[in-house]
Chains A and B, each alone.
Chain A
Amino acid sequence: MKVLVADDSGIMRKIIIRSLKAVGVSDIVEAANGQEAIDAFKAEPVDLILTDWNMPEKSGLDVVVEIRAMGSQVPIIMVTTEAQKGQVIAAIQAGVNDYLTKPFEADDLRAKLDKFVTV
Chain B
Amino acid sequence: MIAQTHPSIIELSDKRKKLIHPFVECTKNVFSMMLNWETELIGVFSNEKFMSKYDCSGLIGVSGALRGTIVVSLDQDVAFAAAEAFLGTKPLIIDEEVVDMVGELTNMIAGAGKDRIGIPGILLGLPTVIAGKGHSVWFDHGAHVEILQFSSPHGPLTVEIGVRGL
Contacts and interface: CB of A to CB of B under 8 A. Distances in A.
Interface of A: 8-12, 14-15, 54-56, 80-84, 86, 101-105
Given A54-B111, A105-B33, 7 more contacts: A9-B103, A11-B87, A14-B86, A54-B107, A80-B111, A81-B108, A103-B30
Given A9-B104, A105-B33, A14 B87 contact: yes
Interface string B108-122: 101110010000100
Contacts, number: 54
B97 interface: yes
Given A8-B126, A9-B100, A103-B34, A83 B86 contact: no
Contact of A11 (B30, B97, B111, B126): B97
30 contacts: A9-B101, A10-B96, A10-B97, A10-B100, A11-B100, A14-B86, A14-B87, A15-B86, A54-B107, A54-B111, A54-B126, A55-B126, A80-B111, A81-B107, A81-B110, A81-B111, A81-B112, A82-B111, A82-B115, A83-B111, A83-B112, A84-B115, A84-B120, A101-B112, A102-B107, A102-B108, A102-B112, A103-B30, A103-B112, A104-B33
**What band does the interface of chain B fall in when counting residues whose beta carbon is under 8 Å from A?**
20 to 34
A83 B124 CA distance: 13
A105 B108 CA distance: 13
A8 B112 CA distance: 18
Nearest to A9: B104
Contacts of B29: 103
Majority SS at the chain B contact face: helix
A22 B103 CA distance: 26
A11 B115 contact: no
Majority SS at the chain A contact face: loop
B61 to A, nearest CB: 12
A99 to B, nearest CB: 14
A9 B107 contact: yes
Nearest to B96: A10
Q: Which of B83, B86, B103, B107 has the most CB of A within 10 A?
A: B107
Contacts of B101: 9, 11
Given A11-B87, A11-B101, A14-B87, A103 B115 contact: no
B96 to A, nearest CB: 8
A100 to B, nearest CB: 12
A16 to B, nearest CB: 12
